[in-house]
Amino acid sequence: MLPTLTPIATQLAATPTGPLEYAVAGAGTPAVVLINGAGGPLAGWGALFNELAPDTRVFAYNRPGIGRSAAPDRAQDGAAVVAALRDLLAAVGVAPPYLLVGHSLGGLHAQLFARLHPAEVAGVVFLEASHPADLALDDLQPGPVRALNRLLRGLDGLSARGRLAEVRHVRATAD
């Protein structure tokens, strides 16, 4: 039988990026910062968030365009994602040091955060995280799969939100 998950209580904080949705609980250091994969909502961290909260401070958030967070107003490359995260952490009073936990695309963001702000990072945990070299995998796909991927990316890019979405700026993040 699966355990019953307690929903994560979220709040909104004003940041330069606009209102961002987040959850924070517990006390202690380092603060565990949970960084979602592409488009993943913070609710996906439910079991881990609730498990960690009795032992340390834990923080999760929805990046721009996810959940109740404001839609992005600029390209969501890694630099923009890291800047928005730092602004949000400061706005809600979650101080370093941070233990960054990155899942999937969140792994690239965690790695970039650690490279840009090493004095703020106690450690990084990668959970099925993306690697910059993963971008080369698309080149190994059969021609019809590559064509379908290009078509889907093009359809996603028809909206302003799609053009600004983090999945369209993975190469810049990896670089």
Is the entire prediction scored with pTM above 0.85? no
> For 55-87, what is each residue's pLDDT tens digit?
999 999 999 988 999 998 888 888 999 999 999
Bridge partners (DSSP) listed for residue 21: 12
Q: Are 45 and 62 in contact (CB under 8 A)?
A: no
Which residue segments constitute the domains of the chain, with CATH numbers given?
11-174 (3.40.50.1820)
> For 10-23, what is each residue's pLDDT tens digit?
999 999 999 999 99
